[in-house]
Chains A and B, each alone.
Chain A
Amino acid sequence: AAGVIQSPRHLIKEKRETATLKCYPIPRHDTVYWYQQGPGQDPQFLISFYEKMQSDKGSIPDRFSAQQFSDYHSELNMSSLELGDSALYFCASSLFGAGGPYMYQETQYFGPGTRLLVL
């Protein structure tokens, strides 16, 4: 079965540079989530999009922005990179309502991640 695709898989940047991470959700999924996982830490939610509109916002720095395009792929843009931005960045996708009744959250499926190293 098709999975979430992320590119690039590895990225090395200098401080103050910019980076763009891409996410291609599972076909027919309408929601994309971005998570950041620092070394030895659990994934932290950054931002999500449903039907191309921002649906939820977590601990995303103002230096970061994201959007979801008409083909449902999403891009996370990171500017003025700092050493502390070095982490694994995961994208997850889901199909709204797939969990059944509205009160149930549908399952999120994660991509392989982009490892960002800021030097």
Chain B
Amino acid sequence: EDQVTQSPEALRLQEGESSSLNCSYTVSGLRGLFWYRQDPGKGPEFLFTLYSAGEEKEKERLKATLTKKESFLHITAPKPEDSATYLCAVADTGRRALTFGSGTRLQVQP
């Protein structure tokens, strides 16, 4: 059974204080690892898709990396508007549905 574990559950940063979020996963065969951002009461907003170990993707202050067992979402010099829940999800062999982690609630204080 697919398992996705995200840490920490919650993270409070000062504006400009860089940090990383972790996503550990267990799958039979990884068909993709996805990062989403979710604001309260809204739908998950797509950030990145990673397919192979060693792959990296970047967008503004965010950078996602992937190894064979985990993925990291690095946030550089965050701003208050980066405050949200960041969800990690995986797609396993034979399934197109996503299995989500429980998310990391990020709060960036000015």
Residues of A within 8 A of B (CB): 4, 31, 33, 35, 41-45, 48, 50, 55-56, 58, 88, 90, 94, 99-100, 103-113, 115
Q: Is B102 a contact of A103 with CB atoms below 8 Å?
A: no
**Which single residue of chain B is at the shortest CB-CB distance from A109?**
B46
- In the complex, A105→B97 CA distance in Å? 9
Q: Is B51 a contact of A104 with CB atoms below 8 Å?
A: yes
- In the complex, A91→B93 CA distance in Å? 22
Beyond A42-B101, A42-B102, A45-B97, whether A88 also contacts B41 by CB under 8 A is yes
Number of interface residues of B (CB under 8 A): 25
- In the complex, A110→B44 CA distance in Å? 6
- In the complex, A89→B101 CA distance in Å? 17
**How many Å from the CB of B75 to the closest CB on chain A?**
20
B99 close to A (CB within 8 Å): yes
Query: B5-48: which have CB < 8 Å to A?
Result: 29, 31-32, 34, 36, 41-46
Beyond A31-B96, A45-B98, A110-B36, whether A105 also contacts B43 by CB under 8 A is no
Q: Is B41 a contact of A55 with CB atoms below 8 Å?
A: no
Beyond A55-B96, A56-B96, A115-B41, whether A103 also contacts B103 by CB under 8 A is no
Beyond A41-B102, A104-B51, whether A112 also contacts B87 by CB under 8 A is no
- In the complex, A116→B101 CA distance in Å? 23
5 example contacts (A-B, Cβ-Cβ < 8 A) are as follows A55-B96, A99-B31, A99-B49, A103-B31, A104-B31
Q: Is A107 a contact of B96 with CB atoms below 8 Å?
A: no
| Residues from chain A with Cβ under 8 Å of B49 in the complex | 99, 107
Candidates A44, A48, A90, A113; contact of B96 at CB < 8 Å:
A48
Q: Is A108 a contact of B43 with CB atoms below 8 Å?
A: no
**How many Å from the CB of A83 to the closest CB on chain B?**
20
Q: Is B43 a contact of A110 with CB atoms below 8 Å?
A: yes
B95 close to A (CB within 8 Å): yes
- In the complex, A41→B103 CA distance in Å? 9
| Residues from chain A with Cβ under 8 Å of B101 in the complex | 42
Beyond A90-B44, A99-B49, whether A108 also contacts B34 by CB under 8 A is yes
